[in-house]
Amino acid sequence: MNFKYVSKDVNDTLTLAENIESEKFPNMVICLDGELGCGKTVFVKGFAKALGIEDNITSPTFNIIKEYMTGELPLYHMDVYRIDETEDNIGIKDYYKKGGVTIIEWSELIKNDLPDERLEIVFKVVDENTRVLTFKPYGRAYEELCESVL
């Protein structure tokens, strides 16, 4: 079952991410997809803030993975736009079991390397401020999260 959420501005997206963070659990994986500038990194900023991370969150496009260890749980922020799905020599799958939260931007590019249980969020731009977010939970924990937050 898919869930939808309409974000009317950046603050809506930040608040949504904070609400999802309130349902966090170790080894949580959130996959963010959508065109450039649709709000993926804004979502990560809201989630990180709610985790208690004070670092400036930016997209790890050239780093691929940024680790934030100062929050309630470790946050592993990935941007896989620049990697090739056929080779994972940076150990992406290892992060899924490190006890933190993994958030992956452009996850559709590595779909064969995603865990079976995860939350996928697709951002669709409606206009300058409005986004429609479609949530697709894989696994009971993610279904319960969507039911409780959305």
Q: Report pLDDT for 51.
A: 97
Share of the chain above pLDDT 90, in %: 86
- Pairing type for strands 75-79 and 65-68 reads antiparallel
Gap between the Cα atoms of 9 and 145, Å rounded:
22
Gap between the Cα atoms of 28 and 52, Å rounded:
17
pTM for this predicted structure: 0.94
Q: Report pLDDT for 62.
A: 74
Do 86 and 62 meet the contact criterion of CB atoms below 8 Å apart?
Answer: no
Instruction: Write the CB contacts of 26 (distance below 8 Å, at least 6 apart in sequence).
Output: 73, 99, 100, 101
Which residues does residue 75 pair with via DSSP β-bridges, in sequence order? 68, 101
Q: Report pLDDT for 33.
A: 98
Which residues of the chain fall below pLDDT 50? Answer: 86
Q: Report pLDDT for 84.
A: 64
Q: Report pLDDT for 91.
A: 86
DSSP string, 29-77: EEEEE-STTSSHHHHHHHHHHHHT--SPP---TTTSEEEE-SSSS-EEE
Domains annotated on the chain, with CATH: 16-83+91-129+138-149 (3.40.50.300)
Q: Report pLDDT for 85.
A: 53
